[in-house]
Amino acid sequence: MNGIGLPLTVKPLSGAIGAEIHGIDLCLPVSDETVARIRKIWLEYSVIFFRDQDLPPKNFAAFARRFGEVVDYPFLKGLDESPEVIEVAKLEHERVNFGGLWHTDTAYLKRPPMGTMLVAREVPPYGGDTLFASSYAAYDALSNGMKQLLHPLRAVNSSAKAEKTRTREDRKAGEGRKVLEAEHPVVRTHPETGRKALYVNFGHTLRFVGMSEEESAGLLDYLFEHQSRPEFTCRFRWEPGSIALWDNRCALHNPINDYHGHRRIMHRVTLAGDRPQ
């Protein structure tokens, strides 16, 4: 058996990014052919979603490994039963969520992750949705003059900028940690699709290489606002057992912090990437 109980169907969530995949039970064995088909859909839509998948942590990590090498997250410890899986939680008494702003994951690493897979364990009665934005669409919508300006630029991405945002991620990391920084092209070429994507993000991008933060601010602020335009985005409503797999090379995400007083528990796995080119 390959895990498919019904014909595999794809339901796009918006015109720019995101699709739900239906007709598959990930608790059953999934064939290599099916995984290849899912990967093709993922590359087309940049983020894909599955619903009603009752995968325990070890099975969740095993499914993620079908798409790439699973790597540790730099600041948080994994679950005892499955160290590759970290818990992303906001509890009833907390006011700040994990990574609650537009960003791509850990862009301050020399080799940022290729992808991230998240499964919902407990969700609030309302709120807690996640927004996704297409970096392809953001690049494509730029004028030719702006594209020519951006192509030779590289940007400094720093974990120190994340500390200023006071997200739950950074508070859990603790102060005194070594600052991680990496320089990446502002426009990167996706290694599998060959498409160009705007590769800066509000959570981590500090400045352009060779410029000060003050000198970089005006253009970066424009790009941050541009890349999250509504027509570049989709919005996903989580349910227990929902899974998302997003492509960090061409998509941003933003978990919405609108459920104070309620619990939201997710499990996350990170997939190794390469140096942006």
Catalytic residue among 105, 184, 188, 267: 105
Query: What class does CATH assign to 9-271?
Result: alpha beta
In the numeric block, the tokens 């030779």 are attached to 152
Q: How far apart are the first and last CA of the chain?
A: 39
Q: Are 80 and 270 spatial neighbours (Cβ–Cβ below 8 Å)? A: no
Q: Are 50 and 25 spatial neighbours (Cβ–Cβ below 8 Å)? A: no
Q: How far apart are CA 20 and CA 9, in angstroms?
A: 8
Catalytic residue among 188, 249, 253, 264: 253
Q: How far apart are CA 87 and CA 119, in angstroms?
A: 10
Model confidence pLDDT, tens digit, residues 220-276? 999 999 999 999 999 999 999 999 999 999 999 999 999 999 999 999 999 999 999
pLDDT exceeds 90 at position 4: no
- Catalytic residue check, 195: no
Catalytic residue among 103, 121, 168, 184: 103
Give me the mean pLDDT over the 70-92 stretch. Answer: 88
Could you tell me the two tokens for 139?
A: 């690049």
- Catalytic residue check, 32: no
Catalytic residue among 168, 204, 249, 268: 268
Pairing of strands 86-90, 264-271: antiparallel
- Catalytic residue check, 72: no
Q: How far apart are CA 216 and CA 206, in angstroms?
A: 8
Question: Which conformational region is residue 182 in: left (phi greater than 0), alpha (psi within -120 to 50 degrees), or beta?
Answer: beta
- Catalytic residue check, 190: no
Which burial class, exposed, middle or buried, applies to 231 when counting CB atoms under 10 A from its CB (0-12, 13-18, 19+)?
A: exposed
Query: Under 8 Å CB-to-CB from 270, ≥6 apart: which residues?
Result: 70, 71, 72, 73, 105, 106, 113, 115, 116
Model confidence pLDDT, tens digit, residues 126-151? 999 999 999 999 999 999 999 999 99
Model confidence pLDDT, tens digit, residues 158-187? 988 765 555 544 445 445 568 899 999 999
